[in-house]
Amino acid sequence: MHRRSDRISLAPTDLGNFLSCRHLSSLDLRAANGLAKRPVRYGPFMDELRARGQAHEEQYLEYLRDQGCSITNMDNPDGDHVDSPSGVAGTLAAMRDGTDIIYQAVLADDAWRGQADFLRKTDTPSDLGDWSYAVIDTKLARETRAGTILQLCVYSYLLGKMQGVRPESMYVVTPGNDFEPLRYRVDEYAAYFRLLENGIGEFIREPEETYPELVSHCDLCAWWKTCEQRRRGHSARLCRSVQVLRLRHGSVAWDGYRS
């Protein structure tokens, strides 16, 4: 999440985060509004995960080169290409040129902004001409997660606005299958995407009180330390309350209360 003048701009990962943990969305919203500083999580596990993900992405890029595909690389390691107007304009120019593959394509509208791993040219006509594009994402997980599907839905939605036709399919490339993409039909997930899109929009307009419950996403979350400190503080206060009850009412009374 990022604040741009009078509105919040969302990244595709924000939708997956909203599905995984409302408290994470609450903390990200506070950071976007300047009420907190979003931490960056480091560590050997996270570093290895990022390195493996980058390696998998580069291997697929090399595979596409070996297949003879024409490739336009939109990546800009020296700057924030996602937030640059030239990123969207450059992506649209590459789409109009009809290049086979657009790597690190920048897609955006007033509400969403992100950078898709790959756009691949298809034979479906669009405002571009006798062709259009579909989104391909590279992931390490061998089973596609709900968050990945939602990210692809956001990218496909933005891509549809840019080329004038919604992609029929979206794809995930996982390790160990000779780079054969897994295909998902956009229409099968469009209603769910719209439901969550409306949900996160309402959440941003009227934030609700949340608590850092332990969820599976905690293993990868940048806010882990913040949430753990709050949970520990809550546990410490609960223990002190228990001690007070025991002193006031005796252990027998407390045992009855507990049961």
Together in a domain, 91 and 144: yes
Indicate whether 22 pLDDT > 90: yes
How many domains does the chain fold into? 2
| CA atoms in the 13 A half-sphere facing the CB of 12 | 24
| C-alpha to C-alpha distances, 107 to 75, 81, 157, 229, 253, nearest whole angstrom | 13, 11, 10, 37, 62
- pLDDT tens digit string along 114-170? 999 999 999 999 999 999 999 999 998 878 888 899 999 999 999 999 999 999 999
- Indicate if 29 and 96 belong to the same structural domain: yes
Residues 191 and 234 in one domain: no
Query: Do residue 133 and residue 248 come from a single domain?
Result: no
Please report whether residue 210 resides in a domain: no
Q: At what angle do helices 190-205 and 22-32 cross, to 10 degrees?
A: 50
> What CATH number has the domain bearing residue 15?
3.90.320
Task: Determine the structural domain holding residue 80 and report its residue range.
Answer: 2-205
Number of alpha helices (DSSP H) and beta strands (DSSP E) in the chain = 7, 8
CB 19 within 8 A of CB 146: yes
Give the C-alpha separation, 7 to 111, whole Å. Answer: 8
In a shared domain, residues 58 and 117: yes
Domain membership of residue 153 (yes or no) is yes
- 215 in any annotated domain: no
Between strands 71-73 and 101-108, the pairing is: parallel
51 assigned to some structural domain: yes
pLDDT above 90: residue 50: no
pTM of the model: 0.83
pLDDT for position 93: 95
Does 5 or 126 have the greater pLDDT score?
126
